[in-house]
Amino acid sequence: MDEGRTTAMKVCVITPYFQVNEDWLRMAHESVRTQTQPAHHILVCDGSTPAGLADFKGTHIVLQRNYKDYGNTPRLIGCYQAMQMDADAIAFLDADNWFYPDHLAGLLQFATENKLDACASARMLHRLDGSPMLKCPVVDGRTHIDTSCLLVMKPAFRHMIAWVLLPQEVAGMMDQLVWKHMLDMGARLGFLDRPTMAYRTRHATHYALAGEAAPPEAVNRTDMHGERYH
């Protein structure tokens, strides 16, 4: 694949947020701005006080209410914005995570070379202070993917309505269900086993996997998959 062709493609990155840690959001935004694959960042404020990022470059959508669905409605609204901007691909990034510099370029090249409709990367687990721990053993493209690892190409944009198709009871696991929906609809999906997304983890089980004591603010869950949006 000609690297110039992928670089010329328009990629939008969607970040929903609610009562966000602005230092973390700033780090997420900076990781989008410094991608080797240029990208337009779309922030969607889910009904809280809008973040004040002085050097923000992108589109900032402020919703007047909180949808209470773990960012799924804001993600879909961000998708509509990306489609209006004639994006070739849409990626997602939660506000407490960030991309490694070649994350988008790697996924875009992987998708185009393999004629995929969507793909996802592996992820690296990081401590709350941002330092790396280990590659996540749970996000493997088979049993789990992570929203912040997902890249969707234009032929699969029509499937993004799936973010809001299912009831509130399963809203916290919609990344898995969106992936399954695309698969059920015949989309060509792929997993790139490179941990180029940094996941800032609160899960005690992740610290246990690394042989470390969990921080006081850690949470205990059994599936080790995703971070609750709020």
DSSP class of residue 102? T
For 104-133, letters b (16+ CB in 10 Å) and e give: bbbbbbbbbeeebbbbbbbbbbbbeeeeeb
Q: What residue ranges do the domains of the chain occupy? A: 3-209
d(CA 212, CA 31) in angstroms, rounded, equals: 27
SS3 (DSSP) at 52: coil
SS3 of 52-67: CCCCCCEEEEECCCCC
CATH 3.90.550.10 fits domain 3-209: yes
The phi and psi torsions of 119 (rounded to 5 degrees) equal -150, 165
pLDDT tens for the chain, residues 1 to 230: 566 667 789 999 999 999 999 999 999 999 999 999 999 999 999 999 999 999 999 999 999 999 999 999 999 999 999 999 999 999 999 999 999 999 999 999 999 999 999 999 999 999 999 999 999 999 998 889 999 999 999 999 999 999 999 878 888 888 899 999 999 999 999 999 999 999 999 999 999 988 898 888 888 864 434 444 43
Q: Using one digit for the tens of pLDDT, what is the confidence trace for 164-198? A: 998 788 888 888 999 999 999 999 999 999 999 99
Give me the percent of the chain exceeding a pLDDT of 90: 80
33, 57 contact by CB (below 8 A): yes
Model confidence, pTM? 0.92
Q: Using one digit for the tens of pLDDT, what is the confidence trace for 114-147? A: 999 999 999 999 999 999 999 999 999 888 999 9
> By CB neighbour count within 10 A (0-12 exposed, 13-18 middle, 19+ buried), where does 41 fall?
buried
